[in-house]
């Protein structure tokens, strides 16, 4: 059954939904509202209807669902207006700027009896899925540390992402994805504390990178790091267990899983360094380790919109739930608070 969707904000991501993510879906994009005339003209050139205003779009009864893909600061007001007009709402990430505003949006969704969800598309990243599977299989033994990083070298983009009033900054841009992945890897564990520092390498007004350290009540230290001035990048994922290590580079397309195999060599050959010998830092002998293949996982992002269709038809509940949205947004609030005071802060999860 066809469900009509309109896109609000037809820039980079709005048009990506239309061209890629909505392909072969029962949800069909039929119209667009963007404040820029050139984006509306572009939408028309693709055969979409360009509305004359947001109100014009929301008054169209043929539209069941809206996708909000504007800069971050206006997600909140547009979502509430759309929900009050009786539309289901998918919001691009971050759903909004902080948990107070999210609470208002969720209240509006409850009152309207409509769906409000967010496009956490990086739950379909191959690397994340590989880490998820490896943790589930327990092949690394007790995991004690996870490091999840994204590094670039172009500084923060020169658009609205530089503007704090528009919800710019890397915590909202990338942190939201990486923190969502962190909490989704351990849905049953609670976060006990949060420490964070924000970087301002290329500009003063917005964070162009950050370091976040989470401590889970299962003992796992989880580091999330984003940098935009890294001319040498570190691995995308590092997962350390008592019996093995997983490393994934380049968005999970290359990597290694190395595990203990048999007894450790008690008679270790020391490594010779300029300042002396070390047995502690010597590598394991080849016959005491084994290298496992990276699981052959190719996630299907089409699941996202198929799930939304099933939600509209009452067959499923949303993959990205209000509880998850609140949890990640409260975590983001805490990240800013911890960065401001420079302390490890307790988190009530
Ligand atoms: P963009 O600047 O390319 O596009 C934003 C568009 O919104 C522009 O065309 C602009 O004219 C329009 N716009 C601005 N204010 C508006 C308003 N009040 N009403 C209607 N239209 C308005 O930005 P982008 O990169 O497409 O980002 C848009 C959203 O998508 C952001 O929330 C961003 O975080 C998110 N995003 C998500 C992903 C992802 O992987 N999930 C990737 C990129 C961007």
Give distance in angstroms: CA of 10 to centre of ligand 1. 7
Give distance in angstroms: CA of 75 to centre of ligand 1. 10
Give me the sheet containing 27-33, strands edge to edge. 49-50, 27-33, 3-8, 65-68, 88-92, 116-119
| Biggest distance spanned by C-alpha atoms of the chain | 77
Average pLDDT for 197-218: 96
DSSP for residue 265: -
- Scan for tokens 């351990």, then name that residue: 186
Least confident of 11-15, 149-153, 157-161: 157-161
pLDDT above 80: residue 187: yes
What lines the ligand 1 site, CB under 6 Å?
A: 8-14, 33-36, 39, 69-72, 74, 92-93, 119, 121, 159-160, 173
Q: What distance in Å separates the CA atoms of residue 184 and residue 299, rounded to the nearest whole number?
A: 16
DSSP percent split of the chain into helix, strand, coil, nearest 5: 35, 25, 40
Q: What distance in Å separates the CA atoms of residue 217 and residue 121, rounded to the nearest whole number?
A: 27
pLDDT above 90: residue 207: yes
Please provide the DSSP assignment of 211-235 as one string: EEEEEETTS-EEEEEEESS-SSPPP
Residue 245's pLDDT band (cuts 50, 70, 90): very high
Q: Collapsing DSSP states into helix, strand and coil, what is residue 197?
A: strand
**pLDDT of 318-347, one tens digit each?**
999 999 999 999 999 999 999 999 999 999
What pLDDT is attached to residue 264?
79
Give me the sheet containing 209-216, strands edge to edge. 289-292, 254-260, 244-249, 237-241, 143-151, 221-227, 209-216, 191-199, 345-346
Task: Check: CB of residue 29 under 8 Å from CB of residue 17.
Answer: yes
Give distance in angstroms: CA of 314 to centre of ligand 1. 29
Per-residue buried b or exposed e for 293-322, using 16+ beta carbons within 10 Å of the residue's own CB? ebeeeebeeeebbbbbbbbbeeeeebbbeb
Residues in contact with 295: Cβ distance below 8 Å, sequence separation at least 6, in sequence order: 130, 133, 134
**pLDDT of 109-132, one tens digit each?**
999 999 999 999 999 999 999 999
Q: Which of 7, 10, 12 to mutate to test the pocket of ligand 1 (most atoms within 8 A of CB)?
A: 12
Least confident of 68-82, 127-141, 212-226, 240-254: 240-254
CA distances in angstroms from 49 to 36, 40, 70, 244, listed in the order given: 14, 8, 18, 54
Give distance in angstroms: CA of 199 to centre of ligand 1. 23
Residue of 157, 163, 257 lying closest to 204 (CA atoms): 163
| pTM, entire model | 0.97
pLDDT above 80: residue 316: yes
Residue 158's pLDDT band (cuts 50, 70, 90): confident
Tell which atom from ligand 1 comes closest to the C-alpha of 172.
Answer: 34
Average pLDDT for 82-111: 98
Nearest CA to ligand 1 atom 8: 11
Which tokens belong to 333? 């609030």
What pLDDT is attached to residue 172?
98
What pLDDT is attached to residue 1?
86
Tell which atom from ligand 1 comes closest to the C-alpha of 14.
Answer: 26
What pLDDT is attached to residue 253?
78
**pLDDT of 258-309, one tens digit each?**
999 988 777 888 999 999 999 999 989 888 999 999 999 999 999 999 999 9
Residue 222's pLDDT band (cuts 50, 70, 90): very high
Give distance in angstroms: CA of 40 to centre of ligand 1. 14
Percent of the chain with pLDDT over 90: 94
Q: What distance in Å separates the CA atoms of residue 124 and residue 306, rounded to the nearest whole number?
A: 14
Tell which atom from ligand 1 comes closest to the C-alpha of 13.
Answer: 26
- Scan for tokens 């929900």, then name that residue: 83
What pLDDT is attached to residue 185?
98
């Amino acid at each position: 059954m066809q469900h009509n969707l309109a896109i609000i904000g037809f820039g980079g991501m709005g048009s990506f939904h239309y061209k890629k993510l909505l392909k072969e879906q029962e949800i069909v994009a039929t119209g667009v509202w963007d404040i820029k005339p050139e984006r509306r003209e572009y939408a028309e050139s693709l055969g979409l209807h360009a509305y004359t205003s947001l109100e014009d779009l929301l008054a169209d009864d043929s539209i069941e669902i809206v996708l909000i893909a504007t800069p971050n600061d206006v997600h909140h007001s547009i979502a509430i207006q759309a929900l009050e007009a009786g539309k289901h709402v998918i919001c691009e990430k971050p759903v909004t700027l902080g948990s107070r505003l999210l609470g208002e949006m969720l209240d509006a969704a409850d009152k309207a009896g409509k769906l409000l969800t967010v496009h956490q598309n990086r739950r379909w990243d191959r690397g994340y899925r590989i880490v998820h599977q490896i943790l589930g299989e327990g092949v690394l033994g007790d995991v004690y540390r996870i490091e999840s990083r994204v590094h670039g070298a172009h500084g923060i983009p020169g658009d609205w992402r530089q503007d704090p009033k528009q919800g710019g900054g890397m915590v909202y841009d990338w942190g939201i994805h990486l923190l969502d992945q962190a909490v989704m890897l351990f849905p049953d564990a609670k976060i006990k504390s949060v420490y964070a520092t924000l970087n301002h390498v290329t500009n003063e007004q917005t964070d162009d990178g950050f370091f976040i350290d989470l401590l889970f009540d299962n003992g796992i230290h989880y580091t999330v790091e984003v940098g935009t001035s890294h001319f040498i990048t570190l691995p995308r994922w590092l997962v350390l267990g008592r019996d093995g290590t997983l490393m994934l580079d380049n968005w999970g397309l290359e990597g290694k899983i190395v595990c203990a195999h048999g007894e450790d060599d008690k008679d270790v050959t020391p490594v010779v360094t300029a300042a002396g010998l070390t047995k502690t830092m010597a590598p394991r002998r080849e016959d005491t380790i084994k290298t496992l293949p990276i699981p052959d996982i190719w996630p299907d992002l089409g699941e996202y919109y198929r799930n939304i269709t099933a939600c509209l038809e009452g067959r499923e509940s949303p993959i990205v739930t209000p509880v998850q949205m609140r949890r990640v947004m409260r975590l983001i609030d805490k990240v800013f608070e911890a960065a401001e005071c420079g302390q490890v802060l307790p988190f009530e999860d």
